[in-house]
């Protein structure tokens, strides 16, 4: 993990297309602005994990549905 110190208003550049800007620091909270191409999804970690969990559940349901369809066709 790369650890950087930045002050309010300073930026971090990732690749050629992503810019993180420290907007505000108040106590133990940091507000960050993110500039990135629209095709790059940006999520808070807890939202990202929820999306992954839902996607995994959907795949399992699809596999179960496929198995049921095969069983019905085979009869």
Render pLDDT for 12-68 as a digit per residue (tens, 0 to 9): 999 999 999 999 999 999 999 999 999 999 999 999 999 999 988 877 776 666 676
Q: Give residue 75's pLDDT.
A: 57
DSSP letter assigned to residue 39: T
Is the pLDDT reported for residue 72 higher than 90?
A: no
* Cβ–Cβ under 8 Å, residues 22 and 8: yes
- pLDDT of res. 70: 73
End-to-end CA distance of the chain: 56
pTM of the model: 0.69
Query: Quick one: pLDDT at residue 47?
Result: 96
Which helix H or strand E contains 52, and what residues bound it?
helix 45-74
């Amino acid at each position: 993990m790369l650890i950087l110190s930045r002050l309010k208003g300073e930026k971090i550049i990732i690749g050629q297309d992503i810019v993180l800007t420290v907007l505000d620091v108040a106590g133990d909270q940091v507000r960050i602005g993110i500039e990135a191409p629209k095709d790059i999804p940006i999520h808070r970690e807890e939202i990202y994990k929820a999306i992954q969990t839902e996607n995994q559940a959907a795949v399992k349901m699809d596999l179960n549905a496929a198995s049921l369809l095969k069983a019905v066709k085979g009869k």
